[in-house]
Amino acid sequence: MLRKLMFVMPLLCGLAMPGSAQNCSNASWQGIYYALLQGVVNGSPYMELDKINADGVGGLITNVTANTAGVISQTTVNGSYAVNSDCSGSATPGGTGLSSLSFQLTDGGAVNQIMTLTKNVVVTGKAYRAAPYCNNAVLYGAYGFITANGTSPTAGFANKGQFVFDGVGTYNYSGVENDTGTTTPISGNGTYNLSPDCLGTMSSPPDSKVFALVQGRRLLTLDNDGDFSSDTLEPVYNPVVLGQFAFGGGWYSAVYFTNANKYQVSFAVSFVADDGTPLDVPGTGSSTTVTLPPLATAIIEAPNAGSLTQGYVSTQLPPGVQSYGVFRQQGNTVQEAVAPLSSALTTSVVLTYDETQYVTGIAIVNPGSQSDSVSVSAVDTNGKVVGTGQVLLPPYGKTETTLTNIRGLTGLAGKRGAVTFSAETGTVAVLGLRFNAGAFTSIPTIGN
């Protein structure tokens, strides 16, 4: 036992112990962020939505939309910041009454926890890195909200419910309102516009908001119509796709779902053909509802019967539900691979390829309701571009092929590297499969 301890101790000495320095610097806060702050400024209730451009070397440009007791003001200010090695820091952005800030970077710099250090100013909030790509098509699905003091700084008012965005510029909302103890249902609809910089507007007259889409699909909103409220809207579901679902012609596919929650959940699962139309799965149909009690598991199977049929699976998973797909090829031998489901909200996807002794199969899905063009750019192991191409997809459409069969990528044969798939106007999901003779396995992807 002593000899084992003597062997292990030098290894432990070389490891970073909890509480060691985090080695942050000004470069840890870099890029476009949106911040939602609220509190009191010189005795008045105060909120603001900021667009912050941190240059990575200590400079800030901040576009401020402030709501002071329902009065809107806008300004652009320059400032500076310094990040300590433990990821804490300070800033002097010079915003509306916020001349000095203290902050703490978290999540690898993706989130910044902010507090004011100015006399007569008590304001706190968070800054989130902007979503990587924005337009109306990127914003769709259901978001939950809760609002307090929604009509004036002192009103006894709250409402809660959800917004549902359609991806083409309109939304509806529903919920319940409590106005000084009187509760009533609320509902309505409106329009929205999301700019490429991830800042947008929502309008349901007479109500109007400015908002920002940030990483994690959150929406930061601020009233700009004379009311006094701000919200952080959280997505209700996680839209995902299994990019390949093939059956017949020697192929079997299945998708598994497990509910890790302590409560029952239900959700719809749809099957879509490559041309974007409903795909009929034997014994299941083109859609079904999965209901899972706590810790329960369900499986949907597509048997190997008849000629080859291909499509994909689309669903919105509740939080706490795990899912994956299984492909089985049945010939002289049986080969099987497990594949993850991919987010339907990514605008670009990176996949690692190896065409030295293997073949890379890909399935590219357009989850949106508009036709889209997906650009494809491949680099070698040194990051040098070795091929570019383009794939056109109809609404809700999909294609499956090998990587080198894409026009412009034939030069990848014999190479290794990474390939990026980027949607021109909407979102894209990609599944990779690596084949070697009769064996195959899935390839993980990184989405933004």
For residue 337, the domain's CATH number is: 2.60.290
- Are residues 369 and 416 located together in one domain of the fold? yes
- Are residues 74 and 32 located together in one domain of the fold? yes
Q: Is residue 15 part of a domain?
A: no
Residue 86 has a pLDDT of 93
Q: Is residue 402 part of a domain?
A: yes
Domain's final residue, options 181, 205, 235:
235
| Token duo for residue 263 | 């409560």
Range of the domain at 294: 238-342
CATH number at residue 84: 2.40.128.20
- Are residues 336 and 242 located together in one domain of the fold? yes
The set of residues, in sequence order, having a beta carbon less than 8 Å from that of 445 and lying 6+ positions away, is 342, 349, 350, 351, 430, 431, 432
- Are residues 389 and 309 located together in one domain of the fold? no
Mark residue 136 as left, alpha or beta (left: phi above 0; alpha: psi -120 to 50; beta: remaining): alpha
- Are residues 172 and 254 located together in one domain of the fold? no
CATH number at residue 411: 2.60.290.11
Q: Is the peptide bond before 206 cis (omega within 30 degrees of 0)?
A: yes
pLDDT tens-place string over residues 97-129: 567 889 999 988 888 888 887 788 888 999 999
CATH number at residue 140: 2.40.128
**Pairing status of strand 342-343 against strand 348-354:** unpaired
Q: Is residue 167 part of a domain?
A: yes
Q: Is residue 299 part of a domain?
A: yes
- Domain total in the chain: 4
The sheet with strand 398-402 has its strands ordered as 398-402, 359-365, 429-436, 439-443
| Token duo for residue 171 | 């939304």
Residue 158 has a pLDDT of 80
Residue 8 has a pLDDT of 34
| Token duo for residue 75 | 């300004």
Domain's final residue, options 73, 99, 129:
129
- Are residues 254 and 350 located together in one domain of the fold? no
pLDDT tens-place string over residues 226-243: 888 888 998 887 789 999
Q: Is residue 13 part of a domain?
A: no
Domain's final residue, options 213, 235, 257:
235
- Are residues 171 and 264 located together in one domain of the fold? no
- Are residues 174 and 230 located together in one domain of the fold? yes
Instruction: Name the stretches of the chain with pLDDT < 70.
Output: 1-22, 94-98, 148-156
pTM above 0.75, yes or no: no
Residue 134 has a pLDDT of 86
Q: Is residue 17 part of a domain?
A: no
- Are residues 276 and 371 located together in one domain of the fold? no
Tokens 């470069």 -> residue: 27
Residue 235 has a pLDDT of 85
Alpha carbon distance 96, 69 (integer Å):
13
Q: Is residue 10 part of a domain?
A: no
Q: Is residue 227 part of a domain?
A: yes
- Are residues 353 and 409 located together in one domain of the fold? yes
DSSP run (H or E) holding 204:
strand 199-204
- Are residues 244 and 333 located together in one domain of the fold? yes
Type of residue found at 313: V
- Are residues 113 and 143 located together in one domain of the fold? no
